[in-house]
C-alpha cells in the first residue's frame, strides 16, 4: 500500500524540487480574497475584525489532515461535501498523508482548492518537538512579535476644537484626549502548543492616562490571554480572555458568523472550534476568566468561568417602598471613552458567566452530539427604557440558556442542527443540510425559528437580523460548476418577523436573493457579475393625521457588482470594478454607483497597493461599501455616499529580517457638501485625510 501511495504522489508531482518537503511553505491568509468570497455586499455592522481573528486562530493552529474528521474540515469553509468525503475515503484507503502535495492525488480536488486550503493544514503529530520545557519553548519560539500601530485623521474634528459656552453658561463637551489612535500587541505562539499575548488599544479622542478608578492604565483597553493545547487529555486550557464556539451558535457563537454571502453553500453552518484565545481589540463579546476542554476517547467536556467588566449606563429607581435601586438602563458596545459622559459608562457593570459543553463523537467520527449550558448574571438588574418593540427583550439580572445540537455526515450529505431554550421560555432552533448532488452541483438548505423572547448574549446563529430573536426563515443555496472555468452561485432567503422591530412597528415579512456568475479561464484572470435584491417592510414617516400611528411600506434594495481582476505578472496585479444600487421606498426611487481601479505592484522587499474611486449616490440608503486594503490586521470599510472621490496608497517594506513597516495614506474629497459628519465628529471642510503607520518586530529571527 505504501508503494502504491508513493507511485500516486510521484505521478502527480513528477520531478518537483519540493517533492520531499512534507509541507509547502506556509503563506499568509489573503484577507481581501477571503472577505470578497464570503461577503457579497459589505456592510458596516459586520464585525470583520472578530471574523478574521477567529479564522486567524484556525490558521495559527492548523488542522491535522491525518486526524481531522468531517466536522473539523468544515471549519475552513473551503471544501464541499464531495471533497470532504473524498479526502476521508482516500485517507482510509491509502493511509496517512506523507506530504500535503499529495492532495493533488485526491479525487475531486483541483489546484485552486488545494492552494486555498494548504495554509489551514498541517501533516502530523501535534506534540512533536516538545522536548524542551514550556518556558524554554517560549524563549526560542520564532512566532514571537510586537506590533505597534498609529492612526490619525488630520483634519480637526469639532471634538478636538476649543469648547463653546452656551447662552446659559454651560460649556459644551469636547474630547479629552488627542486625535491619535494607538495600538500595541504582543504575541508568542506555536501551533497546537501554546499562545500567549496581550493587546493594548487607545481610540482617537481617548486620554492616555493612568486612572485606576476608571480602569484606564495608559491605554484605554487591555486584553490578555495564555492558552495551552494538548496537555495530556486536556485539549485546551485558556486563562484570560477567550471565545467559545459550539453547535450552530445559539449559545456559543465565538463572536463571528458569515451568514449570507457569495459563498452560498458552506457558510450557512457554524463550526465547533471550541475555546480559542481572544485577541481582537473590540471591548465586548468575549469571556474573561478560565476555560478548559478535557478529552477522553470520543467524549469531551468544556467548562468556562468568566467575571468580566462591561460598559453601561446606570440609573436609580424607587421601588414601592421608596427605596432606591440601581438599574442597568443600557449597555455600551462602542468601546469609546472620549468624553466625561462616555467615561462614566466604562466598566460600570460586572457580568458573571458559567458554562459548559459536553460533546460525544461516534467511533467512525461521522456523528457529533452535544449540549451547551450558559448561566449569566449581572451585578444589578437590566431594565430597558420601554418602547413598543422591546417588550419581550431580556430584563432582570439572570439568564439561563441551554441547547442540544448534532451533526451527521452521511455519504455526500452533511446534516446539522441545534435547538435552545432560554430562561424566559423562548426557543431558538436551526436545522439544515449541505450536499453535493454531483461534481457540478452543490446545494444547501437552512431553516431557523427564533422566538421574540429568546435571549442569547453570546450566540451568533444564522439570521437576517443582527441577533437570533423574533425571526422565522428558510434559506436555499446552490452552486453550479458547469466546467473548470465557470461557476454560478445563488441563494434565496425568505423570512418574517412575528413581532415588532426597530423602525418596523408591526409584524413584517421579507425576502432576499443573490446571484453571482464567475468566469476564471486561468489562475491570472477572474471576472464576475453579481446582483442582490432585498425586500423588507419599514415604517412610513408619521403623517400627523389621526389615523394609524404607524403604517408600513416595502423598501426594495438592489445592489450590483461587475468585477475584472488580472494578475499581469508576478509583480503586477490590477482590478477594475463597478458597484451600483437602486432603492425604492414609498413611491420614490433613488440610485447610486461607485467606480474603482486597484493596482498592486511588488518588487524585492517593497509592495505598493493603490486605489482610486469615484462615487455618486442620491442618498445614504444607496451608500456603497468596498473593502479596502490596509496595514496588517486592520480594516477599512468606508460608507461612500454623496458625490466625491476617494483614493489611497498602501506601502509595505521589509526593513530587516525582524522588522517590517507598513504605511497607508487615504483621502476622501466631497463635491456636494461643505463639511463632513455630525456632532463632535464634524469636520468643517469637504475632505478627510487619514494616515496609518504599523511596525511589526519579530523577536527571534
pLDDT means over runs of 10, the chain (701 residues)? 50 44 56 58 56 66 80 76 84 88 87 81 66 89 93 96 76 92 94 91 94 86 94 95 94 75 86 88 91 95 96 77 76 91 92 97 89 96 88 94 94 92 97 92 96 95 92 97 94 96 92 95 92 94 61 94 94 96 96 97 93 97 91 85 97 95 98 95 97 95 80
- Grouping H, G, I as helix, E, B as strand and the rest as coil, residue 94 is helix
Residue showing cell 493596482:
599
Residue 34 within a domain:
yes
Helices 48-60 + 31-38 axis angle, to 10: 120
> In this structure, what C-alpha cell is assigned to residue 602?
511588488
First vs last Cα of the chain: how many Å apart? 41
Residue showing cell 426597530:
502
CB 284, CB 306: distance < 8 Å: no
Q: Residue 419 CB: number of other CB atoms within 10 A?
A: 18
Residue 356: phi and psi, rounded to 5, are -150, 155
Please give the pLDDT value at position 15: 40
- Grouping H, G, I as helix, E, B as strand and the rest as coil, residue 68 is coil
Residue showing cell 455592522:
45
Residue showing cell 517593497:
606
| Burial of 403 from C-beta contacts in 10 A (0-12 / 13-18 / 19+) | buried
DSSP state of 645: E
- Distance, in Å, from the CA atom of 508 to the CA atom of 505, rounded to the nearest integer, reads 9
Residue 119 within a domain:
yes
Residue 347 within a domain:
no
| Domain range for 83 | 1-126
Residue showing cell 452541483:
441
CB 533, CB 509: distance < 8 Å: no
As for how many domains the chain has, the answer is 1
Residue 145 within a domain:
no
Residue 291 within a domain:
no
Residue 56: phi and psi, rounded to 5, are -65, -35
| Burial of 20 from C-beta contacts in 10 A (0-12 / 13-18 / 19+) | exposed
Residue showing cell 486592520:
634
Residue 52 within a domain:
yes
Q: Residue 630 CB: number of other CB atoms within 10 A?
A: 22
Write b or e for each residue in 295-323: b if 16 or more Cβ atoms lie within 10 A of its Cβ, otherwise e: beeeebbbebebebebbbeeeeeeeeeee
- Distance, in Å, from the CA atom of 625 to the CA atom of 575, rounded to the nearest integer, reads 16
CB 675, CB 687: distance < 8 Å: no
Please give the pLDDT value at position 684: 96
Residue 101 within a domain:
yes
pTM beyond 0.85, yes or no: yes
- Grouping H, G, I as helix, E, B as strand and the rest as coil, residue 5 is helix
Residue 251 within a domain:
no
Please give the pLDDT value at position 5: 54
Number of continuous H segments (helices) and E segments (strands) in the chain:
8, 34
Amino acid at each position: 500500500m505504501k508503494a502504491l501511495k508513493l507511485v500516486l504522489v510521484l505521478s502527480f508531482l513528477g520531478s518537483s524540487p519540493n517533492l520531499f518537503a512534507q509541507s509547502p511553505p506556509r503563506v499568509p491568509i489573503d484577507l481581501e480574497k477571503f472577505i470578497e468570497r464570503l461577503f457579497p455586499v459589505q456592510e458596516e455592522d459586520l464585525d470583520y475584525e472578530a471574523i478574521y481573528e477567529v479564522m486567524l486562530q484556525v490558521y495559527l493552529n492548523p488542522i491535522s489532515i491525518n486526524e481531522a474528521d468531517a466536522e473539523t474540515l468544515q471549519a475552513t469553509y473551503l471544501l464541499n461535501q464531495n471533497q470532504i468525503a473524498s479526502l476521508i475515503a482516500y485517507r482510509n484507503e491509502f493511509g496517512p498523508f506523507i506530504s500535503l502535495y499529495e492532495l493533488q492525488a485526491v479525487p475531486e480536488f483541483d489546484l485552486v482548492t488545494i492552494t486555498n486550503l494548504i495554509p489551514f493544514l498541517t501533516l502530523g503529530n501535534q506534540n512533536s518537538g516538545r522536548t524542551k520545557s514550556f518556558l524554554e519553548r517560549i524563549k526560542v519560539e520564532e512566532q514571537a512579535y510586537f506590533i505597534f500601530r498609529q492612526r490619525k485623521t488630520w483634519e480637526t474634528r469639532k471634538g478636538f476644537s476649543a469648547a463653546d459656552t452656551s447662552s446659559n453658561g454651560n460649556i459644551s463637551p469636547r474630547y479629552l484626549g488627542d486625535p491619535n489612535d494607538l495600538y500595541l500587541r504582543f504575541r508568542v505562539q506555536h501551533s497546537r502548543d501554546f499562545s500567549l499575548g496581550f493587546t493594548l488599544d487607545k481610540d482617537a479622542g481617548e486620554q492616555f492616562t493612568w486612572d485606576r478608578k476608571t480602569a484606564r492604565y495608559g491605554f484605554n483597553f487591555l486584553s490578555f490571554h495564555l492558552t495551552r493545547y494538548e496537555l495530556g487529555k486536556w485539549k485546551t486550557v485558556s486563562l484570560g480572555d477567550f471565545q467559545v464556539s459550539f453547535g450552530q451558535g445559539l449559545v456559543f457563537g465565538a463572536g463571528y458568523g458569515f451568514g449570507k454571502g457569495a459563498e452560498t453553500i458552506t457558510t450557512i453552518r457554524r463550526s465547533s472550534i471550541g475555546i480559542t484565545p481572544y485577541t481582537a481589540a473590540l471591548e465586548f463579546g468575549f469571556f474573561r476568566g478560565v476555560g478548559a476542554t478535557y478529552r477522553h476517547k470520543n467524549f469531551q467536556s468544556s467548562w468556562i468561568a468568566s467575571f468580566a467588566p462591561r460598559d453601561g449606563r446606570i440609573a436609580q429607581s424607587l421601588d414601592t417602598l421608596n427605596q432606591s435601586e440601581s438599574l442597568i438602563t443600557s449597555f455600551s458596545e462602542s468601546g469609546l471613552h472620549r468624553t466625561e459622559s462616555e467615561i462614566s459608562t466604562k466598566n460600570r457593570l460586572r457580568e458573571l458567566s458559567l458554562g459548559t459543553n459536553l460533546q460525544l463523537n461516534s467511533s467512525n467520527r461521522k456523528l457529533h452530539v452535544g449540549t451547551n449550558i450558559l448561566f449569566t448574571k449581572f451585578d444589578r438588574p437590566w431594565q430597558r427604557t420601554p418602547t413598543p418593540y422591546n417588550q419581550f427583550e431580556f430584563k432582570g439580572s439572570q439568564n439561563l440558556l441551554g441547547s442540544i445540537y448534532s451533526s451527521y455526515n452521511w455519504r455526500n450529505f452533511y446534516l446539522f442542527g441545534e435547538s435552545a431554550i432560554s430562561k424566559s421560555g423562548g426557543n431558538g432552533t436551526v436545522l439544515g443540510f449541505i450536499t453535493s448532488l454531483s461534481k457540478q452541483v452543490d446545494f444547501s438548505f437552512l431553516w431557523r425559528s427564533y422566538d421574540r423572547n429568546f435571549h442569547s448574549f453570546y450566540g451568533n446563529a444564522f439570521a437576517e437580523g443582527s441577533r437570533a430573536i423574533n425571526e422565522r426563515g428558510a434559506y436555499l443555496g446552490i452552486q453550479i460548476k458547469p466546467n473548470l472555468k465557470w461557476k454560478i452561485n445563488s441563494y434565496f432567503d425568505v423570512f418574517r418577523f412575528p413581532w415588532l422591530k426597530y423602525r418596523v412597528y408591526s409584524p413584517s415579512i421579507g425576502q432576499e436573493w443573490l446571484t453571482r456568475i464567475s468566469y476564471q479561464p486561468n489562475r491570472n484572470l477572474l471576472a464576475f457579475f453579481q446582483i442582490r435584491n432585498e425586500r423588507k417592510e419599514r415604517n412610513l414617516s408619521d403623517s400627523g393625521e389621526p389615523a394609524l400611528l404607524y403604517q408600513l411600506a416595502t423598501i426594495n434594495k438592489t445592489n450590483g457588482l461587475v468585477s475584472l481582476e488580472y494578475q499581469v505578472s508576478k509583480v503586477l496585479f490590477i482590478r477594475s470594478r463597478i458597484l451600483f444600487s437602486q432603492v425604492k421606498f414609498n413611491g420614490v426611487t433613488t440610485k447610486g454607483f461607485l467606480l474603482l481601479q486597484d493596482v498592486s505592484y511588488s518588487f524585492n522587499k517593497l509592495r505598493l497597493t493603490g486605489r482610486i474611486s469615484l462615487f455618486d449616490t442620491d442618498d445614504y440608503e444607496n451608500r456603497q461599501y468596498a473593502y479596502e486594503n490596509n496595514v496588517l490586521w486592520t480594516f477599512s470599510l468606508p460608507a461612500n455616499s454623496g458625490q466625491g472621490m476617494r483614493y489611497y496608497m498602501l506601502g509595505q517594506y521589509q526593513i530587516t529580517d525582524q522588522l517590517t513597516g507598513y504605511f497607508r495614506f487615504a483621502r476622501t474629497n466631497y463635491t456636494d457638501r461643505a463639511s463632513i459628519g455630525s456632532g463632535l465628529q464634524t469636520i468643517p471642510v469637504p475632505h478627510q485625510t487619514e494616515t496609518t503607520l504599523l511596525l511589526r518586530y519579530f523577536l527571534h529571527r
